[in-house]
Amino acid sequence: MTHRRDDDDLDPEDHGGGRKRRKAGAEFIDDIAAVDNDEEEEEEEAEEDDFIVDDEEDVRRMHHRPLPTEDNQEEEEDYEALERSIQARYTRSSHTDQYDDEDATDVELEQQALLPSIKDPKLWMVKCAIGHEREAAVCLMQKYIDKGSELQIRSAIALGHLKNYIYVEAYKEAHVKEACKGLRNLYSQKVMLVPIKEMTDVISVESKPVVDLSRVTWVRMKIGTYKGDLAKVVDVDNVQQKVTVKLIPRIDLQAREMNIGGLMFKDGFLYKTVSVKSICSQNIQPTFDELEKFRKKPGEDVSSLSSLVANRKKGHFMKGDQVIVVKGDLKNLMGWVEKVEEENVQIRTKMKGLPKTIAVHEKQLCKYFKPGDHVKVVSGAKDGATGMVVKVEGHVLYIVSETTKEDICVFADNVVKSSQVITAGVTKIGDYELHDLVLLDDMSFGVIIRVVSEGFQVLKGSLERPEVVLVKLREIKSKIEKKADTMDRSKNTVSMKDVVKIVEGPYKGKQGPVKHIYRGILFIYDHHHLQHAGYICTKAQSCVVVGGSRGSGNRNGDNLSRFPGIRASR
């Protein structure tokens, strides 16, 4: 009882704060004395004694700690309850991982449940008039709307890529035929059932590939005045799906100087904002002639125009290719291709301290060639050309052709090392050799101007424009041995080896000996003409024989027919 009275006496003073604070641990002793006869609370006392630390520093802290009250005990109970709830929560979450696979399986089962089954309506193919597929499907559904439940069909489908057929959804073939009666574009006698496994393929929609456009991407225009022209992307607006491109303007000499219709020009280029749908960005491979026009300055390096990273064709690297890193932290690192993956290339290097193989993004790589390498062009405008590398500028190679001795400028991506290089002395394959006049399978004709490993380059006898084609040995029908004569513009006879001068056409002013004559077409050789191995194709009526008369019949220029009263001396 003494202890209770003391407790009652302490209560108001504990809250008053005017009395001197009691020693730490005194209240614990009073509590223990009050419940001394309770065995369960003795156990709790033992547990509390376990938490008492004998460190001096902790004892000093205990002296300054506020006296524990009933409120503090309630807070401790709240903390314990919070701790238990947290443990329960995270214990439950730790067991959720094992159910992930089960959840994924449930999702798959739900997706499979959406697939058509034998209890669902079937899909039938109905033949219709070509070009009227959409009209037939609309008419069929309009008939269904008008008649309602009388027509036992569910839907009609017309696919844009499928001609001559539409799909009708119904349970029975008889329902389809009944619905198609009276529609002129549908032939209900030809109805075919679509297998259940193929029904989903019918209505599946292929997602269009996302066009990844960025600055310095080369594109071509699809519509308008500049259709087919090369353009360079300078700005992209992904929100409005528009791009600003730089074009070579098509100059209208008849237009007035200031009448430019609101178009923007800068440095001689036309800047135009167009829709993404009006350009083509897939597999754009600009030629060097086109890239030359995009030079800002005449002396600008050609290699600066070769940054066609976004336009590269995939798969241009092969195992064994020697490559060099042109971008990134590994710039100028050389190696050999070991494996080609989706967008990365595994390369093998000899540099110490690096792994055996390194994965490098294909956009950071370039094929490596050095002067003196014998190479072959495998794609592009110079496809099939072989020669020796004489100069390297970044992605650009300068090659001397083995046959024509002309300089060729190509991208390194379009070239491979080749041991099948034709030497300068080889000018014949089979029965045909350089400068022969040959007849081709399509009954066209031309002169062989170049011998390559897989065939011949032939300058065809086309009068509209020079046309050079690559033909295989088997595509040549025969050699034209016939030596014919023809008449020039002034009715003079033109024979082989005669020197003629071109007086009209794109080659006006050029002259040279006649090498071949066939069907009124002359093949003239002019050593000043650097294209097509010096050969020019033109019609005889566009030429005059050098030294010939203006009239007919006299090759010495002594045409006296204009003076009937005078006879030539004998």
Q: What are 431-460's pLDDT values in tens digits?
A: 888 888 898 888 889 998 887 766 788 888
d(CA 48, CA 50): 5
d(CA 533, CA 41): 114
Lowest mean pLDDT segment, chosen from 199-208, 350-359, 499-508? 199-208
CA distances from 110 to 99, 120, 136, 201 (A): 16, 16, 35, 19
Q: Note the pLDDT of residue 312.
A: 54
| DSSP per-residue letters across 433-454 | ETT-EEEETTS-EEEEEEEETT
d(CA 56, CA 42): 26
d(CA 221, CA 273): 12
Express each pLDDT in 53-89 by its tens digit: 445 555 455 544 554 455 555 666 677 777 777 776 6
Q: Note the pLDDT of residue 126.
A: 92
One-letter amino acid for residue 160 of the chain: G
Express each pLDDT in 304-314 by its tens digit: 555 544 455 55
Interval 420-437 mean pLDDT: 69
Q: Note the pLDDT of residue 11.
A: 46
Interval 12-21 mean pLDDT: 45
Find out whether 191 and 125 touch, Cβ atoms under 8 Å: yes
Closest among 84, 311, 340, 120 to 219, alpha carbons compared: 311
CA–centroid distance for 173 within its chain = 46
- Quickly tell me which residue has 């690297």 as its tokens: 317
Q: In the chain, what are the domains?
A: 2-76 (no CATH), 122-201 (3.30.70.940), 218-251+262-302 (2.30.30.30), 308-415 (2.30.30.30), 428-479 (2.30.30), 483-570 (2.30.30.30)
Q: What average pLDDT does the chain have?
A: 74
Band of the pLDDT at 137, cuts 50, 70, 90? very high
| DSSP per-residue letters across 71-138 | HHHHHHHHHHHHHHHHHHHHHHHHTSGGGHHHHHHHHHHHHHHTS--TTSPEEEEEEE-TT-HHHHHH
Q: Please report which residue ranges of 35-69 form alpha helices under DSSP H.
A: 39-50, 56-64
| DSSP per-residue letters across 170-200 | ES-HHHHHHHHTT-TTEEEEEEEEPPHHHHH
Closest among 216, 218, 242, 212 to 231, alpha carbons compared: 218
Convert 477-515 to b/e letters by CB count within 10 Å (16 or more is b): eeebeeeeebebbbebebeeebebbbbeeebeebbbebb
- Calculate what percentage of the chain has a pLDDT beyond 70: 68
Express each pLDDT in 361-382 by its tens digit: 887 888 888 888 888 887 766 7
| DSSP-assigned beta bridge partners for residue 237 | 242
Q: Note the pLDDT of residue 119.
A: 85
Closest among 186, 183, 198 to 126, alpha carbons compared: 186
- Quickly tell me which residue has 């003391």 as its tokens: 6
Interval 338-342 mean pLDDT: 83
Q: Is the pLDDT of residue 566 over 50?
A: no
Provide the 8-state DSSP code for 349. Answer: -
Q: Is the pLDDT of residue 301 over 80?
A: no
Band of the pLDDT at 169, cuts 50, 70, 90? very high
Q: Give the chain's length.
A: 570
| DSSP-assigned beta bridge partners for residue 124 | 168, 193
- Token representation of residue 110: 């739900």
Express each pLDDT in 454-500 by its tens digit: 678 888 887 767 788 888 888 888 888 877 888 888 888 888 888 99
* Residue 414 burial (CB count, 10 A): 21
- Quickly tell me which residue has 């050999």 as its tokens: 336
Q: Note the pLDDT of residue 567.
A: 43
Q: Note the pLDDT of residue 31.
A: 47
Provide the 8-state DSSP code for 207. Answer: P
| DSSP-assigned beta bridge partners for residue 391 | 398
Q: Is the pLDDT of residue 241 over 80?
A: yes
Band of the pLDDT at 426, cuts 50, 70, 90? low
d(CA 73, CA 53): 20
d(CA 212, CA 310): 9
Closest among 421, 418, 373 to 397, alpha carbons compared: 373
Express each pLDDT in 88-136 by its tens digit: 665 554 444 554 555 556 666 666 777 788 888 999 999 999 889 999 9
Q: Note the pLDDT of residue 134.
A: 92
Q: Which residues contact 259 (CB under 8 A, 6 or more apart)?
A: none
d(CA 338, CA 321): 8
Express each pLDDT in 274-293 by its tens digit: 998 898 887 787 777 777 77
Find out whether 418 and 386 touch, Cβ atoms under 8 Å: yes
CA distances from 151 to 96, 116, 125, 465, 537 (A): 51, 21, 17, 64, 71
- Specify the higher pLDDT residue, 259 or 177: 177
Provide the 8-state DSSP code for 363. Answer: G
Closest among 540, 512, 545, 509 to 527, alpha carbons compared: 512
